Amino acid sequence: MKTKYLFIVILSLLYFSSCTKDNYNLMENPENLNQANDNYYNPTQLKSTTVFLVSQDFESASKTSYAAANVAFGSESWLLNDALLGTTTSDRKNNLKSVRIRYVGTLEMNYDVQNAGNVSFYYAKYGTDGNSAFDVQYSTNGGSSWTTLGSCSVTSTTLQTAEFEANVSGNVRFRILKTSGGSARINIDDFQISEMQIASVESLSENFESANKTSYTAASITINSNSWYLGDALVGTTTSDRKNGTKSVRIRNVGSLAMNFDVADATNVTFYYAKYGTDGNSAFNFQYSTNGGSSWTTVGSCSVTSTSLTQASFDVNISGNARFRVLKTSGGSARINIDDFVINSGSSSSNTTEPTRDDNLAMGNPSNALFNVAYYTNYLMTKDQFTISYNSQKSCANWVSWHLSSAWLGDAPRFSGDFYKDATLPSGWYQVLDGDYTNTGFDRGHMCPSADRNGDYYDNKATFVTTNIVPQAPYNNQRAWKELEDYCRDLAEAGYEMYIISGTYGTGGTGTYGYATTIDGGNINVPNAVWKVIVVLPVGSNDVSRVNTSTTVISVYMPNQDLGSTPWTSFCQSVDYIENKTGYDLLSNIPVSTQSTIESRVFNGSLL
């Protein structure tokens, strides 16, 4: 097992090569609107989740002419110039409408937002039109002048996701300006702007496992926690690289590892360091910047004399925003490794009475899933609402992991549309649609439940993506399974927070029409069983560090068949039992000594 902190935040790192600035997918891909009737329903962790300043799907207004005009979408006013709202079958859209732009038209905000982080949206060619391109621009003076953030080429009739890192402080507005292609038209849909990530965190952890950089050439890379600058440094994977997992940062000469982003109110920073291979001794400085990296102050230094990983710990106690870097200062070409970078921020108290939205993968990555198309049976998909290991051969999740507290709960209505395909799946992978479950005898069974994400409309909508559902026997899904889901939400309302991992096992279940191994003509695997592991803690902070041998863990393993009225408690098993079945390491971020105790127990009580 690997005892370390895995931090997954905000960005799903899907790159689209048609854009001249790195593009990532943050949004779901909602499809048709029609109620489905046969279903029921982020080491230590980040204490903030993505906040969207703008989330516009263009559904609430009409404009049928290309003539320039302002259009009101609720309280938001947008200028559509040489653009209209398209509703035809040739318009590429996620629902009923999208913006259609021609010539050098624009889609432009008539209002400002403050402290914009990332801008993301979908785009595609209209109908059979030719290729074209557009710029994404921003203005900090109310639209008097515009600065280009990046560009995209539009070459596909399938909706693609564009995302641009803006990170603009103060008032700002954005526009999409079509720049080439003449009369060839483009569609734009689901425009979102997230709040700039000056994170209020209990701790930020980066283990560099999702990073890829094989050259020493200076460059910024975006990985799980955010964007990092590696100067004369790369991501090492060899046997000579000292590391806790499969990767660590390797620095040579006077290279550096630096954050390209700020955190708020940092109190302490820790990381591991060692000599690479048989290289000689060297040293580094640990530094911070409070002005966005314009200048740096040295906190302390370390000599690197051992090939065994050693932990460095620096008390910084900086109020306000700061970023950090490791700067190699001596040793010439002798190389060093850096791994498991953790920033503790905010109050040093380990307890808080205020529930928060935390890291969905805080307890560990059970199958070491990776965001890499080569891992087609164990493909990591990181969303704001939950994290998935997806199996493209089975067309469903291996497991889904999420955090639950009352901070995720609210009064948002249940999404009334169909389940929709996941636009973040790699090109060419089979896309599950809502209708693939129709008349199969199996429910569209949520892994992360709809009602666990009803604090916000878009969070609830996200749970209806088809990568979050599995074929589940109706009287499993609607009875014992649902009762356990309700119990978890009751715990959240009673002052607990939970880290939940839910998954599937095997092949072959029994639905309304009898036993089946697959549905949808063999495309979707029917699991033999569904399971769930729930780590229960009183609301607090530094959650992984608070897990001890007395922590309550609820684990269930349910056959995928009609369970009648049998209560969920009858299906309790130990975590060890589920690990032995699946081969997963379910709570890998918890110290091994603690795991051995809590994973061997079977829950047989009640917390309410």
Which one from 250, 444, 446, 461 is the annotated catalytic residue? 446
Domain with CATH 2.60.120.260 in the chain: 52-195, 203-345
Query: How does pLDDT run across 428-453, given as a tens digit for each residue?
Result: 999 999 999 999 999 999 999 999 99
Average pLDDT over residues 506-525: 98
Average pLDDT, the chain: 87
Query: How does pLDDT run across 212-266, given as a tens digit for each residue?
Result: 999 999 999 988 767 899 999 999 999 999 998 899 999 999 999 999 888 888 8
pLDDT for residue 279 = 96
Residue 56 has pLDDT above 90, yes or no: yes
Residue 42 has pLDDT above 60, yes or no: no
Q: Taking CA 335 as the corner, what is the angle to CA 333 and CA 337, rounded to the nearest 5 degrees?
A: 165
Q: Name every residue whose Cβ is closer than 8 Å to that of residue 447 and which is 6 or more positions away in sequence.
A: 386, 388, 397, 399, 400, 468, 469, 470, 502, 503
Residue 531 has pLDDT above 60, yes or no: yes
446 is catalytic: yes
Nearest residue to 450 (alpha-carbon basis) of 410, 423, 479? 410
Q: pLDDT confidence of 25, banded at 50, 70, 90?
A: very low
| Domain spanning 203-345, CATH architecture | Sandwich (2.60)
Query: How does pLDDT run across 538-575, given as a tens digit for each residue?
Result: 998 878 888 888 899 999 999 999 999 999 999 999 99
125 CB-contact burial (10 Å; exposed 0-12 / middle 13-18 / buried 19+): buried
Using DSSP's 3-state secondary structure scheme, residue 237 falls into: coil
Query: How does pLDDT run across 409-430, given as a tens digit for each residue?
Result: 999 999 999 999 999 999 999 9
pLDDT for residue 203 = 66
Domain with CATH 3.40.570.10 in the chain: 379-598
Assign residue 404 a region: left if phi > 0, alpha if psi is -120 to 50, beta otherwise?
beta
Distance in angstroms (rounded) separating the CA atoms of residues 219 and 250: 14
Distance in angstroms (rounded) separating the CA atoms of residues 248 and 53: 35
Residue 32 has pLDDT above 60, yes or no: no
* Domain 379-598 CATH (choose: 3.40.570.10, 3.30.70.940, 3.40.47.10, 3.40.50.300): 3.40.570.10
DSSP calls for 545-573 = HH--TT-EEEEEEEESS--TT--GGGGB-
Domain 52-195 CATH superfamily: Galactose-binding domain-like (2.60.120.260)
Q: pLDDT confidence of 50, banded at 50, 70, 90?
A: low
Token pair of 321 as six digits: 């925003």
